[in-house]
Amino acid sequence: MPALPRLLPALALLLAALPAGAAEETREIGYVNTAITNLGLTRSHRVVVERFDDPEVRNVSCWISQARTGGFSGMLGVADDPARFSLTCAATGPVELRDGARRGERGEQVFESSTSLFFKETRVHRFVDEERNAVVYLAWSTKLVDGSPYNAVAVVPIR
């Protein structure tokens, strides 16, 4: 039996274990090269811009830019990307908070991007500020830097 048909059930299980819609909800918008590596023979260091839509808040999109390491380690997926990023979110139509949107001081994770082979990620959590009628997005790195992770915030009013 060829190897591919034997691997299909394992691949299906792996895909089922991924967060719902993870591959479809994030879209790379573009990038800029920040430094050429290995005389241009490998992928350059770059800043990548991605967009994701909040599944529980209709008509809100967020854009996150992140530094990505190039070179051989970047090409092989084993690079340790810098924990630097920027975040902005905007209403793309009438904002509608769905009933399933978690409220409370812990918020709800709506985005995750691996930034190293082991243990370091960029995450975005959503919080609802009901007093000010706004949705707040907090991007943060799981890499601790002097006891405090890098972070960024974006706010979208609910009208």
The answer to whether residue 11 sits within a structural domain is no
pLDDT of residue 24: 47
Does the residue 51 lie in any domain?
Answer: yes
Count how many domains the chain has.
Answer: 1
For residue 63, what pLDDT is reported? 97
pTM of the predicted protein model: 0.71
* pLDDT confidence of residue 52: 96
Q: Is residue 109 part of a domain?
A: yes
In a domain, 10, yes or no: no
**Structural domain of residue 68, as residue ranges?**
25-157
Q: Is residue 147 part of a domain?
A: yes
Query: pLDDT tens per residue, the chain (159 residues)?
Result: 455 445 434 433 333 333 333 334 789 999 888 777 666 666 677 888 999 999 999 999 999 998 877 765 655 565 655 667 899 999 999 999 998 888 888 899 998 887 665 566 788 999 999 999 999 999 988 776 676 778 899 999 998
For residue 32, tell me if it sits in a domain: yes
3-state SS of the chain is CCHHHHHHHHHHHHHHHCCCCHHHHEEEEEEEEEECCHHHCCCCEEEEEEEEECCCEEEEEEEEEEEECCHHHHHHCCCCCCCCEEEEEEEEEEEEECCCCCCCCCCEEEEEEECCCCCCEEEEEEEEECCCCEEEEEEEEEEEECCEEEEEEEEEECC
Query: Looking at the domain assignment, is residue 4 inside a domain?
Result: no
Asked whether residue 86 is domain-assigned, the answer is yes
